[in-house]
Amino acid sequence: MKEIITEIQDEIFGIFDYLHQNPEISWEEFSTTAFIGEQLQQEGYRVQTFDDCTGVIGEIGDGGFTVGLRADLDALWQEVSGQWKANHSCGHDAHMTMALGVVKVLNRLGYKPPGKLKVIFQPAEEKGTGALKMLEKGVVDDVDFLYGVHLRPIQELTSGLAAPAIVHGAAQFLQGEIRGVSAHAARPHLGVNVIEVGGTLVQELSKIHTDPQAPSSVKMTKFIAGDKSGNIIPDHAEFMLDVRAQTNEVMDVLLEKIEKIAQGLSIIYGAGIQIRPGVRVAAAQVNEEAKQLLEQSIVSVLGKEKCAPPVVTSGGEDFHFYTLMKPELKATMLGLGCNLQPGLHHPLMSFDRRDLLSGIEILATTVIETFNKDKRVNKK
C-alpha cells in the first residue's frame, strides 16, 4: 500500500491544494460538494447529493455489512492578515483529502469490499448541525462501523504519532437577554441596572460545582449593554455563554444549574432573564471494538511506539451525534499528529502535510481490516 500511496502522492497533494485554496463556510460548500462528487464518480462510486443542503455521499459495493468513513467540508470565517475570509484553519481540507485518498488507494489496490463502503462528506461541522442533518437524511442508517479523522495540535500529538480515539467533550452555546428598568444615572434606585445583574450572573456561574472527575466550565463570552449616553441606567443586555463538559450527563447538570441561577437572579433583582439554547455538541461515545481495529492499523502502519493513547480534549465535534442518536453504531475518530501549530482555528494554522499520507494508509488499512473482521465473524 505504501508504494501506491507514494505513486499518487502528487495527486493527493494536488487535491489538498485545491481544497485549501477554495474554502467555503458552513452550508455554503457548493463548489466543494461538486468537486468531491466528481472525484468520487471518477473512482466508480455511486454518488448521492441533496436538494436542500450541501454534502455528498459516495458508495461502492453491496451487502448487509457497511463500513463508513466521514470527513467534514466546511471552513471557518475569520480574519486572516487583516482580511475577513473563509479559511481552512481546522484541518477539514486535510480530512477531505485523506478520505478521497482512501478511495483512490483502495481502487488502485483493486480492492473490492465484501460489503458496502460508504464515504460521507458532511457539511457544517463548525456549526454543530451538519451531522444532525445527515442523520435526518438517514445516511448512517445502514452503517455498522464509522470512522472519522481529525488533525491534532502539536501540544497533543507530534508528527508521526496517531491515536485510535479522540474523546471530545460536550459543548453547549447559550444566548441570553436581560430586561431591567431604565432610569437617570443620578437616581439608580429607580431603575434596574442590567449590567449589575450581568455582573452577579458571572459571579454565580463561577460558583457552579459538578463532579470533579469530569472537567466542566461555564464562561460568559459576550455581554452588550448601554449605548452612547453614559448617564442612563441601561435596561437591556444581551449575552452569550459557552458551556463545556467532558460527559453528556454533566452537561445536563450544568444546564439545570444555569437555569436555576437565572431564575433566582430574576427574583432578586426584579429583572427578566431569558436564556435560549443554541448549538449543542455531544460528548464522545467511543466504541471499544472500533477503537481496537483502528489501534491495530496504527501499529501496523507506524509501529507500536507511535501509537498514542486516546486524546482527551475539551473541544467539541459533531461527529459524536452519530453515536448519540444511533447507539448501536460502532465508531471512533483517528487523531493524527502532524506538528500542527500554533493551534486549531488559528488563522495562520499550518501542519506537515506529509502526515496525510500516513493518515490515508491507517484509514485504508482500517477499512480493510473491519471488513475482514466481519468475514471472520460470519464464518464462525
Q: What mean pLDDT do residues 168-182 have? A: 97
Q: Output the CA angle 330-338-117, nearest 5 degrees.
A: 30
When pLDDT is cut at 50, 70 and 90, the band that residue 379 belongs to is: low
pLDDT tens, 241-268? 999 999 999 999 999 999 999 999 999 9
Range scoring the smallest mean pLDDT among 112-116, 136-140, 313-317, 362-366: 313-317
Looking at every residue in the chain, the average pLDDT score rounds to 96
In the chain, pLDDT over 70 holds for what percent of residues? 98
Residue 9 CA, distance from chain mean position: 27
In the prediction, which pLDDT does 8 show?
97
On whether the CB atoms of residues 371 and 183 are closer than 8 A, the answer is: no
pTM: 0.90
When pLDDT is cut at 50, 70 and 90, the band that residue 376 belongs to is: low
pLDDT tens, 40-99? 999 999 999 999 999 999 999 998 899 999 999 999 999 999 999 999 999 999 999 999
In the prediction, which pLDDT does 366 show?
98
Q: Output the CA angle 29-72-49, nearest 5 degrees.
A: 55
pLDDT score of 377 more than 70: no
Residue 48 CB contacts under 8 Å (≥ 6 apart), including other chains:
56, 57, 58, 59, 139
In the prediction, which pLDDT does 37 show?
98
Q: Which residue has the cell 449616553?
A: 229
pLDDT score of 122 more than 70: yes
What residue ranges define each of the domains in the chain, with the CATH number in brackets?
2-168+284-379 (3.40.630.10), 170-281 (3.30.70.360)
**What is the Cα gyration radius of the chain?**
24
Separation in Å, CA 8 to CA 38, 41, 105, 107, 143: 18, 18, 8, 12, 29
Residue 64 CA, distance from chain mean position: 28
Q: What mean pLDDT do residues 300-312 have? A: 98
